[in-house]
Structure 1
Amino acid sequence: MKLKFSLTIVLIGLCILSFAQNTFINLKYEQNYTPTYYEIIEMFQLLDSHYENAILVENGLTDSGKPLHTFIINNEKEFNPEKIKAQGKTVLLINNGIHAGEPCGIDASLEFADNILRNKDGLAEILDNTVIIIIPAYSVGGLLNRSAYNRSGQTTPYETGFRGNAGNYDLNRDFLKCDSENAKNFNVLFTKWDPDVFLDTHTTNGSEHQYSVTLIAPQPDMFSLTQEQFIREKLLPGLFSNMKKGDYELIPYVSWMYPDPKRGIKMTQETGRYSSGYASLFNSYGMMTENHVYKDYPDRVKSCYQFIEMLARFTAEHSTEIIESREKGIQESMTAKNYSINFELDTTQFRMIEFKGYEVDEKQISPVSGLPRFGYNKTKPYTEEIKFFDVYSPTEEIIIPEYYILPQAWKSVVDQLIRNGIEFSTLQNDTTIEVEIDYIEEYSNAKIPYNGHYFHDKVLTRSEIQRINYNAGDLVIPVRQKKIRYLIETLEPKARDSFFRWNFFDNILDAREYFSSYGFEENALKYLDEHPEFKKEFEAKQKSDPEFAKNHRAQLAYIYNNTEWAEKSFERYPVGRIY
């Protein structure tokens, strides 16, 4: 009996071990196939049903009318962000399929989720101090718009989704302006989880080179000192050296000094419209992988998987440093006197890195047209030291105010602040407040819409101190709060991705009052009679400017625009500052 009992226990143990090692997903990337939206969700549902320490959650709807999912993996059955943060765990958020024609991260994240849950290669140890959240498919509408004729620059996989979402937005330009339901609900879940590390997986069709995966890293100069040092001294060296130990080496995203990468490549600064730039506004270490479209799809998935696993291990191993550097970075931003709102690449500073490329060939003959074309000669690979430009210098700074005052009338902006967890109070009574206010002196519009907006590229302002009447319910926003960077980057009109640039305040750019040459005549004459000093100035202008003296409309305009008749709210930016 004892022998039978012992054998039974062994058999049960073997069954449990076998069950734990089974895979519950069916990926076919080796056959150049990436799953459909429904297959993706079904596989995550299967993992959810088999593991108590993982759950698939809906986070509102996307533009397609289908849910925005997150798949949360912990080492216990605890999925409350506040409780998880209280335990001192780091949070790693991974976003996939933002451009549905770039699906390698979808496959890689499914495989990683399956492997970590069944503890393949001891991966489950990552979960001791790190919670992993995966967005399986961000652009659901793009994934549903599946075709073999999307993404013309890639040959594999055979079918993919479309770059635009259901509302035809490029979702990686929408994180600040939030035209899409996808972005609105992403803002909410990002606020809820406050991830310490963020990864967005992409595919690029840039220059040809020997790497399967490249990285758009968090740009150090956009962070305060502690985080800048952590990025330069720990994060970037760790990510690149750890990747080199695997099958796939990592290189910075090849944003090259045209026309040949041999002239050097530059680090990019991602602003808040992009996912990683949005993450950086909250002192999160946000980054993007850019897998190389010219590599075979299995290589792209495997190299993306290697990066995800490596990043998860790095996050777990440096959990305390990551959390502490973020906290200190936030405090440094909150106590700073000035804030840089514009930068430019410093081409005098660079370091040398090894680069494995292919020789440029500008005289290749196109097999399609039979004519010369630009290309790369893959029979001539090279390994050379090239310049890497990774330093940006501030070109414009502001003095950080203590408060912003925002009239409640600008509801779309108020909604954005609420979604992002901004702290504010409201005025209890109508009141007059002395504030610094900006006037928009000059701005330029793009000639064609950019992701649904006529973005204001050039913005020039002047400032005035004014006493302005505010209403009960208007917002008083303390600037020195944890999300100070988000506040400044969105509410300062000249910041690179401000709400002003994205047309949230365009109603101020056209006047509501006006004057007619006939109707204003009586009031103009009355004003001159009642203001003798101004009348002297007006008459001096008539004498000194012959063209002005002959132009009736110009003279009335001079009186209208240089007196109390002028419309003070015209081109006046509505956000006031208190220092």
Structure 2
Amino acid sequence: MRLLKFSLFFFSIVTLAQNKLVTPYETGNGNQTTTYEQCIAFYQKLDAAFPTIQMIEKGKTDSGKPLHLVLFSADANFESNANKTVILINNGIHPGEPDGIDATMILLRNLATGKVKAPKNVLFAAIPVYNIGGMLNRNSYSRANQNGPEAYGFRGNARNFDLNRDFIKSDSKNSRSFQAIFSELQPDIFLDNHVSNGADYQYTFTCIATQHERLGGALGEFFINEMYPEMVKDMQKKKIDVVPYVNVYGTTPEKNGFNQFPDTPRYATGYTTLFNTLGFVPETHMLKAYNKRVKVTYEFMVSAISYAEKNHAKIKSVRAAAATTYKAGDSYPIDWAIDSSKVSYIDFKGFEAGYKPSDVSGKNRLYYDRSRPFTKKIPFYGKYKATQFVTVPKAYMIPQSQWPVLDVLLLNKMEYSQLKKDTIIEVETYKIAQYETAKSPYEGHYGHYNTKVERQTEKIQFFAGDYVFSTEQKGIKYLLETLEPEAVDSYFNWNFFDAILQQKEYFSSYVFEDLAKEFLDKNPKIKAELEQKKQEDKKFAENGAAQLDWVYKKSPHYEKAHLLYPVFRVN
């Protein structure tokens, strides 16, 4: 029987090889991954050989090469429509983690040839290689923590951006092309294939199931209580254990347990969640053999297709209902923290760990003993609680002068209108009251955090051509997460509005001294505030320059634009 199975396997490989439809990974030793050129050539052959496969170019990347999209449809209808569940796979965002690149090539071939049953209710789409520049930067050493393949790509893209931090700020052409693809497909399910880093353990496959609270309501409950558990069960039927992504570095998982990964909107699934897409990040274990990692990545995609095929109607229904979860006047959460009061326990399969003297430094170093596997119950903190809210406005007003932000909003297909004439409108304004700035660069930015605002209602002059973004649209969560400056990945925190943080006009003390006295004499209330502040703050009382600056900022001479956030809320 085993001989017969081997003969059939050998025959199928020979037949595929004759048709040149064997992937470079399959013809290698199990520890080799395709090159970029081989990958694209393989998909071109699939496209030419099967009417159910289509490969198209979809925008540019920082490398200068186009981003490709490969589609499979059992009926050769490649239009994304309401009748099919759309699955989008992203590969090679970190090309040193190529498991998904090779696994997806095999899967699309097997779908086309019928080795995997073709789903009638699913449109399957895949980006073969997202970070092309990184894949072209091929080496064998940059992944020091990883067991194979023999050669692979580099984490940074052609401009050295980590593309899995670029989904909101969109500094790269890769991100801009991805957003065009995403807006066009409007996928129901999204997978971003990765390889993990961190601790050692027995599992080959771990997974980030996106923070379900960000999906919200019935959609979030469906995702975490129905969809994900069923997919895990399907993997277990194939004898593949699944555990949440082990978010542990520098210590051991069993010591204190671990948390659900916080995939904020800068990350792939954090971004896709803003559009109510059901997102997963498969994270194979870096120290397992490459052929085993490719296999489990392949099987998880098959499980996703199987679940989508069986449950396509429900997926469509629950996502459609989620589009109306938030409306003007509702409270929307813009910051989250782990809820440590809600803990579950996992039968975790790990390895005993300990410390011994380092051969390099002589100091204690962590090590794992693979000859001593264990299964222990450890805590997993998988629930988040909202820690800050904003009230959803009716609309956001954005002056046309703020074109860098407008470009990204329009790229993401946010619906808008423009004023037809100059108009004075009563709006809620934000003044940036507090913020901190990173001391080191992060992905091309010195980002802000701990941002606080002061709110005020004012009548503001807007002009013909200024933009109005109603929150009554599918992209409501995207608007809130990017335009509310206190949100973690807001455009303010990503430095889009740094020009307002710099004061443009100042004063000469010897001139303004007389103007300040005249102003205080005419405004006794402000003069009384100054005297009170001097009594309460000794350093301020001894600093004449600080007092003069305080008066200046209370006077009509101080520029209104300083710290005034140029996005306005219509309530």
TM over 0.5: yes
Displacement of 1:214: 0.5
Contact 1:33 1:158 in 2 (8 A): yes
User: What TM-score, normalized by structure 2, do the two folds share?
Assistant: 0.92
Tell me which amino acid in the other structure corresponds to 2:22.
Answer: I
Mapped to 1, the partners of 2:402 and 2:531 lie a distance apart of 43
Aligned 8 A contact 1:213 1:291 in 2: yes
The percent of aligned pairs where both chains have the same amino acid is 39
Q: Deviations over 1:518-570 (max 9, x none)?
A: 232454355356x2535853885699689777755344323311122222211
- Cα deviations by residue, 1:176-197 (Å, 9 ceiling, x for unpaired): 0000000011111100111000
CA drift of 1:460 comes to 1.4
Q: Of the candidates 383, 403, 408, which is equivalent to residue 375 of structure 2?
A: 383
Question: Equivalent residue of 1:148, what SS?
Answer: coil
Q: Deviation of residue 50 (structure 1)?
A: 0.3
Q: 2:115 aligns with which of 116, 120, 143?
A: 120
Q: Does 2:524 match 1:533?
A: yes
Tell me the residue number matched to 2:58.
Answer: 59
CA contact (8 A) 1:95 1:134 kept: yes
- Which runs of 5 or more structure 1 residues have no equivalent in the other structure? 1-14
Report what 1:9 is aligned to.
none
1:258 Cα offset (Å)? 7.0
SS of 2:326's partner is: helix
State the match for 1:98 in structure 2.
93
2:175 to 173, 183, 202: 183
Among residues 135, 138, 152, which one is paired with 1:160 in the alignment?
152
Alpha-carbon spacing, 1:300–1:472, altered in 2? closer, same or farther (3 Å): same
What is the match of residue 75 of structure 1? 74
Which amino acid letter does the alignment assign opposite residue 251 of structure 1? Answer: V
State the alpha-carbon separation in 1 of the partners of residues 16 and 288 from structure 2: 35
| Structure 1 residues 246 and 433, CA gap change in structure 2 (3 angstroms) | same
One of 471, 488, 499 as aligned partner of 1:479 = 471
In structure 2, distance between residues paired with 1:230 and 1:551: 60
Pairwise CA distance, 1:62: 0.3
- Which of residues 382, 385, 399 in structure 2 aligns to 1:407? 399
Q: Structure 1 CA distance, aligned partners of 2:451 and 2:318?
A: 34
Distance in 2 (CA, whole Å) between partners of 1:20 and 1:116 is: 17
The answer to whether structure 1 residue 496 and structure 2 residue 517 are counterparts is no
Aligned counterpart, 1:8: none
Alpha carbons 2:337, 2:385 under 8 Å: kept: yes
Supply the distance in 1 between the matched residues of 2:539 and 2:490 (Cα, whole angstroms).
41
Query: For residue 508 of structure 2, what is the aligned residue in structure 1?
Result: 516
Mapping for residues 134-533 of structure 1, pairs under 5 Å: 134-256=126-248, 259-262=251-254, 263-334=256-327, 337-363=330-356, 365-366=357-358, 372-528=364-520, 531=522, 533=524
| CA distance 1:535–1:335, shift in 2 (3 Å) | closer
Using the TM superposition, give the Cα deviation of residue 466 of structure 1 relative to its aligned residue in structure 2, in angstroms.
Answer: 1.5
Aligned to 2:5: none
**Residue number in structure 1 paired with 2:33:** 34
The corresponding residue for 2:124 is 132
Aligned 8 A contact 2:209 2:281 in 1: yes
Q: Is the 8 A contact 1:22 1:118 kept in 2?
A: no
Q: Which runs of 5+ in 2 are unaligned?
A: 1-11
Aligned residues of 1:334 and 1:481 also touching (Cα < 8 A): no
CA change 1:380–1:401 in 2 (3 A) is same
Q: Please say if residues 520 and 526 of structure 2, whose CA atoms lie closer than 8 Å, have aligned partners that are also in contact.
A: yes
- 8 Å contact 1:184–1:419 — kept in the other structure? yes
Q: 1:355 to 1:558 in 2, by over 3 A?
A: closer
| CA RMSD, 1 decimal | 2.3
Higher mean displacement: 566-575 or 498-507: 566-575
Query: Paired residues, what number?
Result: 554
Find the residue that maps to 1:311 and give its secondary structure. Answer: helix
- Distance change >3 Å, CA 534–CA 386, structure 1 → 2: closer
Of 551-560 and 169-178, more deviation after overlay is shown by: 551-560
